Structure 1
Amino acid sequence: MVTVIDLFSGCGGLSLGAARAGLPPKIAIELDGHAAAAHSKNFPKCKTAKLDLSRVDPRSLSSLYKGRPDLVIGGPPCQGFSYIGKRNQSDPRNDLLDRFFQIVAELQPRAFMMENVPGLLDRSSIQMLERALDRVATEYTILPPTILDAADFGAATHRKRVIVIGYDPLDVDNLSFEQVNKHRSLPATVWQALEGLPEPGDKDIANVGFFESPYISLVNRRSKNLGDRAKLEAFNNGQVSGFVATQHSEEVQRRFAKTAQGKTEKTSRFFRLDPNEPARTLRAGTGADRGSFQSARPIHYKSPRVISVREAARIQGFPDWFDFHPTKWHAHRMIGNSVNPLFSEAILKAISIALGVSRTEIEQSDDQQLAVMAN
């Protein structure tokens, strides 16, 4: 059994990709209580803890597993480097970048993978990354940090991220971005992502049925020991959550209806989705320390409204059985903060192969997964 540790895990975009790449997370650490609760529900076999990693002694994490970790993954908070934010180099959250590598140095995994915003490689920020990497430079071979776009790995959305990969050269070989790029695939479109979903309404649960397409089949795969029992059983009966509609005035609906696909509505500045292209990056909005503002959600390509939680999840690559939060605000925030699972799976698949891990024990059919849960 492999030992994978997900730091700053959020609701589990990296964890889901890892599990599908044959690297199911054993430990996950997340400070936000709502995101940690969602991770715990969707990864019931993983030890998910709500902890502030800036205050945790890394040595205390070693009591949660035996032996040497195979992989440490994570996406430290990135507001201080983001093009969307104020790009404050003194933002205290920037220290969590260094903290990630400090923990890696302490735990000594066979390999690690960190993701972050492209702004981290800018001239004003890259020195912070270099100083953080100095903590592990002696023991690990570190691949040149590289910007990748989720859309180049089968996602239905553009989302560029800096990927940093390191490995113990005495234990792992044949790991490179060339290996990662072997898992590239054509992007999905918004239409493919949202195909078969009903209109949102007054109730959270809707009957989605068993509509299948290549993209939806890929997104809705289930792996051993993943998913909340109640949500999986509902999904097996065609019932899916995330369909509470956002109420718009008649005037707003008229403006949305007049906005062409792939264009921005002039008053709200909301972007209307183009059904034949991947979506723009879904944003999370600001946290409580920044006013709890919700990021603008895109306008549906056909209906004069913003997208629902489930539609956002489909675009971001989460399966229909994945559970977020009962409120739209928290659910959209989790999705906007997450790593696209299709993207993370592609990257982690290359790492999984380099680590010598087989995926066959992870891949099971839906019926087999329900049988596993029943036992």
Structure 2
Amino acid sequence: MLDLFAGCGGLTRGFIDQGSFDGVGGVELDRAAAATYAANFDPTGLHTYTGDIAGFTNVPSVDLVVGGPPCQGFSALGKRDPTDVRNQLWRQFVRVVRDSDARMFVFENVDRFAKTLEFQRLRDAAGEGGELADFRTQVFRLNAADYGAPQKRVRTVIVGSSIGPIAEPAPTHARRPAEGRDRWVSLRDAFAGGPLVLELPVRAERLPDRSVDFQGGEVPGAFELRELHVTRNYDLKSLIRYAHIQPGQSRFALPDELQYPCWRKHTKGAGDVLGRLRWDEPAVTIRTEFFKPEKGRFLHPQWENGGEQINRALTHAEAAVVQGFDARHVWCGTKTEIARQIGNAVPPPLARAIAQPVAERLGA
């Protein structure tokens, strides 16, 4: 398999964990993310192309191409500008699929992508008269929580195949336990039984001072998951605000004197802003600025309930666990760059679930 717009390698991690696939390389514009991909899947860095995908012309022959082009041009949180150049990156995806002689592809994007003109154009390309005329596509709307990630993250997944359709990825979890399906993984489950998290002290300091050589230059890292259990120094006014917000509540729970001036006139919308997560539910969708409570529902779920009140956003390590990464995965970049990698990643449990029927169709 070949991973395009690979980021930190969430798709590759899930497909390799499924057991049938070998990664032969990744393509990624962001240097820090490319270094993370290489540190996990390509130690020599020889098979990680760092740069604009338009310049990626030495395409290997593979069975499968996977990828998730940047979603900001489609996301409900962005400007949804139809002229955003990122909206056209699916064309490069199609080019690489064609040049690789792949028999199948997996294309992942935000849920809203399915409502865009570019979505239809991608499907048209994989059909009669298109650039991938031998392919036919299937579209799945998948929630990562249904596949074992402790996060409600809905995505559009397009599977293209020249060798026949696949079965829909079989959910393993549900909001309520059902026959053959466990209950959604909650934050309590993920943090208590996961690869770290709560027993480690949180440090309000920088990441360790070390770097790796990546393709002729230095990049901070590689950092283990436990080393990402870091937070920020919050001012006293912010800590007072956070202390007022119980699990499930948001900025609307603040008394008037603690409201930001710009919020006092905005009494509707943005219901997740300054929100606190709940212990016994999956998290909301992790985004690239999860470390800023003012950006969404990212406050730690511990409020009272017999334990010390924790008035901070999720740490980088906790956000990575919410995405479904474990202690095997290492990370390169600054704190901000790693946060962007975590927020943009495809949850490995979701990727692993998609990989199963794809492998069955390929005969792996």
TM range (shorter): 0.7 to 0.9
Match of 2:158 in 1: 164
Alignment map for 1:90-129 (pairs within 5 Å): 90-122=83-115, 125-129=118-122
CA RMSD of aligned residues (A): 2.6
**Alpha-carbon distance between aligned partners in 2 of 1:19 and 1:270, rounded to the nearest angstrom:** 36
Match of 2:55 in 1: 55
Offset of residue 146 of structure 1: 1.9
Alignment map for 1:222-237 (pairs within 5 Å): none
Gap runs ≥5 in structure 2? 174-180, 209-220, 253-258, 261-272, 303-309
**Alpha-carbon distance between aligned partners in 2 of 1:71 and 1:110, rounded to the nearest angstrom:** 6
Is structure 2 residue 270 aligned with structure 1 residue 270?
Answer: no
Offset of residue 124 of structure 1: 5.1
Selected match of 1:175 from 166, 172, 188: 166
Match of 2:239 in 1: 253
- Per the alignment, in what secondary structure is the counterpart of residue 251 of structure 2? coil
- Provide, for residues 79-134 of structure 1, a one-character-per-residue CA deviation record: whole Å limited to 9, x for no partner: 21111101111101111012211221222212111101111111555434334435
Gap runs ≥5 in structure 1? 63-67, 207-228, 287-293, 358-375
One-letter amino acid matched to 2:87? N
Change (3 A) 1:98 1:174: closer
**Alpha-carbon distance between aligned partners in 1 of 2:296 and 2:136, rounded to the nearest angstrom:** 40
Query: Are the aligned partners of 1:256 and 1:304 in contact in 2 as well (CA < 8 Å)?
Result: yes
Mean Cα deviation higher: 248-257 or 182-191: 182-191
Match of 1:42 in 2: 40
Mean Cα deviation higher: 129-138 or 275-284: 129-138
Offset of residue 355 of structure 1: 1.8
- Provide, for residues 23-53 of structure 1, a one-character-per-residue CA deviation record: whole Å limited to 9, x for no partner: 1311101010010011111113572120211
One-letter amino acid matched to 2:2? I
Offset of residue 323 of structure 1: 1.9
One-letter amino acid matched to 1:190? L
| Higher strand proportion (structure 1 or 2) | 2
Offset of residue 295 of structure 1: 5.0
Change (3 A) 1:100 1:276: same
Query: Are the aligned partners of 2:148 and 2:172 in contact in 1 as well (CA < 8 Å)?
Result: no
* Runs ≥4 residues deviating over 3 A: 123-137, 182-186, 202-206, 294-297
Change (3 A) 1:199 1:275: farther
Change (3 A) 1:352 1:116: same
One-letter amino acid matched to 2:73? G
Offset of residue 354 of structure 1: 2.2
Residue identity (%): 30
Q: TM-score, normalised by structure 2?
A: 0.77
One-letter amino acid matched to 2:33? A
Selected match of 2:189 from 184, 187, 192: 192
